[in-house]
Amino acid sequence: MTVTVDPALLADARRERRFFLSLSLPALFIVGLAAILPILWIIRQSFLTTGGEYTVGNYTKVLSSGLTWSALVTTLELSLGTLAICIVLGIPLALALASARPRVANLLMAFVMLPLWTAILVRTYGWLVLLRRDGLINAALTGSGLTAEPLPLVYNFTGTLIGMVHYMLPLFLLPVYAAMRDIDPNLIRASASMGATLGQVIRTVIMPLSAGGIFSGSVIVLIYSIGFFITPAVLGGGKVNPLSTRIERALSTFQDWGSASVLGILLLVLMALIGVMLLAARRLLAQTTVAAAHA
């Protein structure tokens, strides 16, 4: 049986769909203006000399420099280190939040979110006050006799990592907590009733079902960490130089737009590579969870 469609009704439906699609236009415009155009501009810039002539010299200069590769290594160390610490600290915290009573969970969540309400620069300088040689932490450590000498907590890799983890942990926690909170408590009860220990419940039910949240949290942490600038610049004391500080130096010290553009493209490529790896990891994870019960 065929139904004859009234063209006027069909047009109404089409108009409605178009209207709702059009709501995305302002956002699309901004994204186009603020993201895609600058990227195209940077790509163009990376092939130009300071005089404005076409060249591949920027690439050969940057890629043959040892500083570039050590910056790349530092970037990866900082990002992956931050992510690793966020996972180690964040997953137990998310478990605790998800299993707490709603009122307690909300209160704890407010504490977790508190740093996000403070400007990053303020927080970074706050860490400086705490971590310096004559800062609060070292004063407490030497004062109580725990250490004879003040620990080198800042103007180095450790200090940068502390500052970055402090910034990233809430961003990691949010999606992980959301995923864990959405797990039907009856699934956990069912698992326990069939004999699962707490460890088995976590491994066979909670972790597989919050994998999506852990994945999202990891992506957020990596995206933010790879281009992170303020914390390495302030807490690294010039000794921690990821790609972001190299770009800043190329621009502010040498006004070398070509090299800065190449470094920026390097960051983009790095992000794309990590994205592909994470996607592959997730696909692998999805295939193995079904068999996870029999681990």
Partner 1 sequence: MKSLPITIDSVSKAYGSYVALDDVSLDIQAGEFLTLLGPSGSGKTTLLMALAGFVRPDSGKLLLGDRDITRLAPNKRDIGIVFQNYALFPHMNVLANVAYPLALRNTPRAEARQRALATLARVKLDGLAERNIAALSGGQRQRVALARAIVFEPRVMLMDEPLSALDKNLRETMQYEIRRLHDDLGITTIYVTHDQREALIMSDRIAVMNAGRIQQIDTPQRIYDRPSTRFVAEFMGEANIVAPGSVRRVDGAEASRETLMIRAESFHLDAKLAGADAVALEGMLRAKAFRGENWLLTLALDGGQEVLVCIPAALAGGCAELAAGQRMTAYAPAAKVHAIAGAMA
Residue 292 beta carbon to partner 1: minimum distance, rounded to whole angstroms: 8
Residue 178 beta carbon to partner 1: minimum distance, rounded to whole angstroms: 17
Residue 151 token pair = 């620990």
Stretch binding partner 1 (CB under 8 A), from 23-31, 148-156, 202-210, 274-282: 202-210
d(CA 161, CA 256) in angstroms, rounded, equals: 29
Residue 270 token pair = 């790095």
How many residues of this chain bind partner 1 (CB under 8 A)? 23
164 contacts 220 by C-beta, under 8 angstroms: no
**Quick check: 99 binds partner 1 (CB under 8 A)?**
no
Residue 257 beta carbon to partner 1: minimum distance, rounded to whole angstroms: 50
State which of residues 191, 218, 231, 244 lies at the interface with partner 1 (CB under 8 A).
Answer: 191
Q: What is residue 6's DSSP assignment?
A: P
Which of 204, 207, 213, 212 shows the shortest CA–CA distance to 292? 204
State which of residues 2, 144, 186, 252 lies at the interface with partner 1 (CB under 8 A).
Answer: 186
Residue 268 token pair = 């983009």
State which of residues 145, 195, 252, 253 lies at the interface with partner 1 (CB under 8 A).
Answer: 195
CA within 13 Å, CB half, 7: 0
Stretch binding partner 1 (CB under 8 A), from 162-170, 191-199, 250-258, 274-282: 191-199
Q: Which residues, other chains included, contact 171 with Cβ-Cβ below 8 Å and sequence gap of 6+?
A: 116, 217, 220, 221, 224
**Quick check: 216 binds partner 1 (CB under 8 A)?**
no
d(CA 116, CA 169) in angstroms, rounded, equals: 10
Stretch binding partner 1 (CB under 8 A), from 148-156, 168-176, 185-193, 276-284: 185-193
Which of 280, 286, 93 shows the shortest CA–CA distance to 171? 93
Q: Which of positions 138-157 make contact with partner 1 (CB under 8 A)?
A: none
Judged by the rule CB under 8 A, the positions of this chain that interact with partner 1 are: 184, 186-187, 189-197, 200, 204-205, 208-209, 289-294
